[in-house]
Chain A
Amino acid sequence: MGCCEKATSFATESLCPHCLDRIPATRERCGEDVYLVKSCPEHGEFHTIIWRGKPEFHGWQRSPNMVRTSESQTIAEHGCPFDCGICPTHRKNACTAVLEVTSRCNLRCPVCFADSGSDVTSDPPLTEIAEWYRRVLEAYGPDIIIQLSGGEPTVRDDLPAIIGMGRSLGFSFIQVNTNGLRLAMEEDYASVLRQAGAASVFFQFDGTEDVIYRKLRGRACYAEKRRAIERCVENGIGVVLVPTIVPGVNSHNIGAIIKLALELSPGVRGVHFQPVGYFGRGPDAPDNRSRLTLPDIMRAIEQQTDGLMRAEDFTPPGWENTLCSFHGTFIPKTDGGLQALTGHGGGCCDSREGSDAHAVSFTARQWSAPPASKGSDCCCTASSDPAAGIETFDGFLEQVKSRLLSVSCMAFQDVWNLDLERVRDCCIHVVAPDGRMIPFCLYNVTSASGQRLYRGHLQELPGF
């Protein structure tokens, strides 16, 4: 690692992967790559790749346009990341509140963020979930994405009641994070969830080959995935495909996933890639070759779609930290190509202004089922004629309302690449059992020996 350019480094902080003490860290360039470099007096130095290749790291910028306005639930006493949450030093409001309604699951996945691999514990009662909803409402109001997660939330038979409770409290957009197995198994289940008020599924979808599911999920389930998607689309639930990308397992399948999403669009509303993170026990740092960074995914999209989508079509986020994600929006053209509506590096697209409500409404609209086409007899199936074209304003508007496909990627942090500058900008907050809002990555981070920072280590807040 002698080639790193400390002169161009950026000082931040992280955690020691072994003792979880807060330690200084720097982002250091090494050619086109960037590493998070940190040193613990007791456990040594760690170098973790955080950016690999083009687009260039220093050009990946966007003016932040979201500021923190919400009140704090805790005080800043021990310093970030030990005061969640959220504390006064956090810089962003939440865009998404994650409610883990069960720790049970009907799969056993080695790559899972959640707690489903541990002993079965009892599900939180509805009264406790109601209290979580009220906490979110007090902290952020109703204009926020509610994601019901787990475990696998559909193993709870009262999931429709949980969805209905959220809707009755005023939350307009409720999304279910699911592996889809129950949706495939029970013919009417998608209809039940839709009628309860679910707008969208955040759908675990790792690829188009069963060999991928055998490796990542323990068994073949591609046919079930397709059946579940079909049922969601038929019942007016927006589908967001969420592949966890693991190098050498499904990193070759990125283009196939996008091509399938285009084929199933507009019922499938987007693809949200999640490069694998490393949680749980593992005494040695994961090899940097086992990591995929944001530019790796952008370039893979371009290569594997034969340039249908290009790396330059993607833009940094305007809400969370720019190192946490990218996204792009596309509409089909009459010649079979795609029109990208986003991009980076062009200047004009990096200066857009927005607001929290605007960003949430965009995501909620994009991840919900598309509006029914004019003259359609059915409210559930979309949409406009793809041949209508985008050459006129009316055609363009019609297409973006009904046929926009979003492609995005979220780079979650584990203990090896955790960067507290990024954490303080986090907008995805897990509602912990005691009602605190914990940034998603912190909630799931574990030391090399499997010790957890937050999950399972919370005391009740006063007054809860």
Chain B
Amino acid sequence: MNFSQEAAAWSCTSCGGELSLVKVGFTYMKGNFEVDLPACAECGLVLVPESLALGKMAEAERILEDK
């Protein structure tokens, strides 16, 4: 499931609004970058899809969270 499909499959747990893809800024170990993620159009709550959390984010953690 891509992030657009994720956005369509979820609704906001906080306010019940619909999700759409928006650019979300990440700060990780002093690195800043943007990712298009599902977020609530009403309240801005962001969904980090499981595939991202267990995929690239976990990979970055493995690489960078060092000794």
List A residues at the B interface (Cβ < 8 Å). Answer: 95, 317-319, 327, 329, 331, 339-343, 349, 352-354, 358-363, 365-366, 390-397, 400-401
**B35: CB under 8 A from chain A?**
yes
CB of A319 within 8 A of CB of B59, answer: no
CB of A319 within 8 A of CB of B31, answer: no
For this complex, into which size category does the number of interface residues on chain B fall? 10 to 19
Knowing A339-B30, A391-B34, A396-B33, the reply to whether A354 touches B66 (Cβ < 8 A) is: yes
Most buried by B among A341, A342, A353: A341
Knowing A391-B34, A393-B56, A397-B60, the reply to whether A95 touches B67 (Cβ < 8 A) is: yes
Chain B contact residues, majority secondary structure: mixed
B64 touches which of A363, A395, A400 (Cβ 8 Å): A400
Distance (whole angstroms) from the CB of A33 to the closest CB of chain B: 27
9 CB < 8 A contacts A-B: A317-B67, A319-B67, A339-B30, A354-B65, A362-B65, A390-B31, A392-B34, A396-B31, A400-B63
| Chain B residues in 8 Å Cβ range of A339 | 30-31
Complex Cα–Cα for A365 and B33 (A) = 23
| Chain A residues in 8 Å Cβ range of B60 | 393, 396-397, 400
Chain B 39-63 per-residue mask, 1 if CB under 8 angstroms from chain A, else 0: 0000000000000000010011011
Distance (whole angstroms) from the CB of A114 to the closest CB of chain B: 25
Complex Cα–Cα for A293 and B4 (A) = 53
CB of B35 within 8 A of CB of A340, answer: no
Distance (whole angstroms) from the CB of B17 to the closest CB of chain A: 25
CB of B65 within 8 A of CB of A395, answer: no
B67 touches which of A363, A395, A400 (Cβ 8 Å): A363
| Chain B residues in 8 Å Cβ range of A354 | 65-67
| Chain A residues in 8 Å Cβ range of B29 | 341-342, 349
CB of B33 within 8 A of CB of A391, answer: yes
Distance (whole angstroms) from the CB of A279 to the closest CB of chain B: 27
Distance (whole angstroms) from the CB of B12 to the closest CB of chain A: 23
Complex Cα–Cα for A95 and B66 (A) = 13
**Smallest CB-CB separation from A400: which chain B residue?**
B63
**Smallest CB-CB separation from B32: which chain A residue?**
A391
Complex Cα–Cα for A353 and B65 (A) = 8
**Smallest CB-CB separation from A313: which chain B residue?**
B30
